[in-house]
Copies of this chain bind each other. A is one copy, B any other.
Amino acid sequence: MRPFNHPAIESITVEGILHALSDPERLAIYACLLNADAAQACTNFQQVNDRTVPKSTLSQHFRVLREAGLIRSERQGVEMLNTPRRAEIDKRFPGLLDAVIGAYCRQSGSAAARSKRGRARG
């Protein structure tokens, strides 16, 4: 099954990217991947948004990200290492990833702030 087929850069679509990132877990995972400075194995995401994600589900999430062209996955020993295809996508759709991730950070940043204030008050 292995050598995954990653889509060629020119067949990556905006709709595909938006769909892949419209799932809260995938968006959280991708934000994390973009933020990381090394490739990440799936295992590192068994916990997402305070929820334990079953591994079959995680595997699907990575498949969707891969097929949307958002990441590149390579087996390294027993693990699957995932890296965002950032430079390629930035070239094809300049500013798209920045804007999406920026919006996501804004949103989750303010949510975190709200619940922090809530705890402090309560």
Query: Interface readout for A51-83 with B: 1 if CB under 8 Å, 0 if not?
Result: 000000000000000000000000000000000
Q: A45 in the interface, Cβ–Cβ < 8 Å?
A: no
Q: Which of B93, B94, B100, B102 contacts A18 (CB 8 A)?
A: B100
How many monomers of this chain does the complex have? 2
Q: Chain A interface (Cβ within 8 Å of chain B)? A: 13-19, 21-24, 27, 92-96, 98-100, 102-104, 106-107
Q: Is the CB of A24 within 8 A of B15?
A: yes
- Which residues of the other chain, B, contact A94 by a CB distance below 8 angstroms? 102
A22-B24 CB under 8 A given contacts A96-B99, A96-B103, A99-B95: no
The residue in chain B whose Cβ has the minimal distance to the Cβ of A16 is B22
Q: How far is the CA of A95 from the CA of B103 in the complex (A)?
A: 8
